[in-house]
Every structure is written in C-alpha cells, then in structure tokens.
C-alpha cells in the first residue's frame, strides 16, 4: 500500500526532472537537422540523418575556436589569480587575525554583493584611459578582484579553524610567515582551493555584462558574449541557432559532468559559511 502511494511522487519528480532537461535534448536533435528537414517537419520530429553542416558553418562564421580559446584563457587566468589573491587575503584574516579583520571581511562581503552596474561605466572609462579597453587582460584583472571577494570570505572562515598547533610547531622550527603559507596552509587547504578554482572558472565563463562592455572586437570575445550578441541581432535561422546553442551548451555540460561533486559540495559550503 505504502509502495503504491510512493510511486506517484516518484513519477511526478521524474517528469519534473525531464522537463528540466528536455530543452537540452531538443537542441541536440535540431542541431543535426538540415534546414530543409526543419522547415518541412518542424522542431519536434527526429532527424533523418546526421547533418553537421550547420555546426561547421556556425563554427567558421563566428570563429568559434577563437572564442573558446578566449574563454579558456580568461577563465583560467581568473581562476588561478583570484585563488592566489583569496589565499593571501584569507591568510592575513583567518590565520594572522590582523586588527580590524571583521571590518575587512565585511568589506569583502559587501564588495561581493555590489551590482556590476555600479562599476561598469567607471571601469569602461578607466580601462580606456589605461589603454586596456578591449583587451582580455582588462577582463582578467576585473574578475580576479571581484571573485576574490567571495574567495576571501569563504577561505577566511575555513582558515579561521585551521589547527593552530601545526602553525606553532612550524614557527618553532624557524619557518617564516611566507613558508608557513606555502608549505603548510596551502597544501592542507587544497580541497577548498580546488572548489574555488572550479567556481571562479565557471563564473568567469558565464559572465556577461562586463565582458559585453569591455570586449567589443570579435577576436577578444568570450563564448558567452559572442553567442549573446549574435542572439541579440536575430540574424540566424533555426538550424544555425541550434548549432549555436549546442556549441554553447557542450562546454557547460562537460564541466558539469567533470566537476559535479565539487560544484554541489562547493555551493553548499559557500552558502552556509
């Protein structure tokens, strides 16, 4: 009896889950349809063959390889640099317990909540003055700083609970603050640092407003910006749109499959700290 009552709940949940992933499935199906097939049978039919010209055409038209390279370069640099900056800040706050650390931490939390709209015009203007406008470096610098606000916040509380005895012991053996950081604190906190790397990478990959403003030339654009701008212009036919969607979805799904555990665990850790 109870088992009978359970199945409707399970079925409802499975249907809801299906609804969440159906958009992905129809994108895949329609990305491999020829335009003729699409106009004849519409979006719901199954493809008769594997039509890849839409994908290759789109790839060449937007120079997608270059966009992927830009995204990887920018996101990778931000992930690395923002993690380093977070570690330095959190070391001073969590382990060094510098004076006024509560205020410093509050500052980082607020900086993390600041809407990018309140920074975007001055950043645009200043980067022009500094000759950094429309360079990948400008975006790397900005997101390194913005994301390290979250990293500092998360890592400070993790390092605040770092076993003091280990640090005291190392100090007695004559290690300086720098050595304690690189030889002890960083290796021990490697799991949290991994979470931060993954998060910073994906966040930067998905960022839209600032890269849209900062990266105007085609050669510097990220995947997100290039696809968003194309969509805004509405110049694409259905097959091309699906090719764009599929090529945009694929990297995200790959990250997701590779880092699923890190992502879900990291979100929870980040939220409750």
Partner 1 sequence: MKAPRDSYTLFLLPGALAFLAVVVVPFLMNTGLGFTDWQGVGSPHWSGLANYRQLAHDSEFWASFRHSLFMVVAMAVVPTALGLVLAAALTDYVGKHFGTRLASILRACFYLPQVLPVAVAGIVWSWILAPDDGTLNALLKAVGLGSWQQDWLGDPDLALYTVMGVLVWVQLGFPLVVFMAGLGRIDPQLYEAAELDGAGWWRRFAHITLPGIRPEIYVVLTWCTIAALKVFGAVYVLTKGGPGGATDVPSYFSFTTFFEKTQVGYGAAISTVLTVIILALALIGLKLQSRAEEA
> By CB under 8 A, what part of segment 143-182 binds partner 1?
144-146, 148-149, 152, 171-172, 176-177, 181
Taking CB under 8 A as the binding criterion, the range among 48-56, 60-68, 189-197, 222-230 that sits at the site for partner 1 is: 222-230
Instruction: Kindly state the number of chain residues that form the binding site for partner 1, as judged by CB under 8 A.
Output: 96
Residue numbers 32-91 binding partner 1 by CB under 8 A: 38-39, 42-44, 85, 88-89, 91
Buried b or exposed e, range 68-105, using 16+ CB within 10 angstroms? bebbeebbbbbbebbbebbbebbbbbbbeeeeeeeebb
Closest separation between CB of residue 215 and partner 1, Å? 13
Would you give the end-to-end CA distance of the chain in angstroms?
42
Residue numbers 100-139 binding partner 1 by CB under 8 A: 104, 107, 109-111, 113-126
Q: How many CB atoms lie within 10 A of CB 16?
A: 9
Buried b or exposed e, range 31-57, using 16+ CB within 10 angstroms? bbbbeebbeeeeeeeebeeebeebbee
Taking CB under 8 A as the binding criterion, the range among 47-55, 58-66, 155-163, 260-268 that sits at the site for partner 1 is: 260-268
Of 64, 184, 245, 262, the residue at the interface with partner 1 (CB under 8 A) is 245
Closest separation between CB of residue 61 and partner 1, Å? 15
Applying CB under 8 A, does 208 fall inside the site for partner 1?
yes
Of 179, 182, 191, 256, the residue at the interface with partner 1 (CB under 8 A) is 256
Of 11, 137, 166, 267, the residue at the interface with partner 1 (CB under 8 A) is 267
Nearest Cα neighbor of 74 from 193, 220, 247, 194 is 220
State the sign of the Cα–Cα–Cα–Cα dihedral 112, 113, 116, 119: negative
Of 1, 4, 16, 50, the residue at the interface with partner 1 (CB under 8 A) is 16
- Output the six-digit token pair for 124: 């645009």
Closest separation between CB of residue 120 and partner 1, Å? 7
Task: Enter the DSSP assignment of 207.
Answer: -
Nearest Cα neighbor of 152 from 85, 96, 219, 236 is 85
């Amino acid at each position: 009896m109870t088992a009978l009552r359970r199945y409707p709940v399970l079925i409802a949940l499975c249907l809801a889950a299906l609804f969440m992933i159906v958009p992905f499935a129809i994108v895949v199906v329609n990305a491999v349809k020829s335009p003729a097939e699409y106009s004849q049978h519409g979006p719901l039919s199954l493809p008769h063959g594997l039509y890849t010209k839409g994908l290759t055409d789109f790839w060449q038209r937007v120079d997608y390889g270059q966009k992927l390279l830009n995204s990887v370069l920018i996101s990778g640099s931000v992930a690395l640099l923002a993690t380093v900056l977070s570690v330095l800040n959190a070391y001073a706050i969590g382990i060094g317990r510098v004076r006024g650390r509560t205020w410093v931490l509050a500052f980082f939390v607020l900086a993390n909540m600041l809407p990018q709209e309140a920074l975007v015009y001055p950043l645009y203007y200043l980067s022009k003055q500094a000759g950094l406008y429309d360079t990948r470096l400008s975006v790397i610098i900005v997101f390194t700083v913005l994301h390290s606000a979250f990293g500092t916040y998360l890592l400070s509380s993790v390092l605040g609970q770092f076993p003091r005895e280990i640090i005291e012991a190392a100090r007695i053996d004559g290690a300086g603050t720098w050595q304690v950081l690189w030889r002890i604190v960083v290796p021990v906190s490697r799991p949290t640092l991994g979470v931060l790397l993954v998060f910073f990478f994906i966040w930067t990959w998905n960022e839209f407003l600032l890269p849209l403003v900062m990266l105007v030339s085609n050669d510097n654009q990220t995947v997100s910006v290039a696809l968003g701008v194309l969509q805004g212009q509405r110049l694409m036919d259905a097959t091309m749109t699906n090719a764009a969607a599929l090529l945009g979805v694929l990297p995200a799904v790959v990250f997701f499959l590779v880092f699923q555990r890190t992502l879900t665990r990291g979100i929870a850790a980040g939220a409750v700290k």
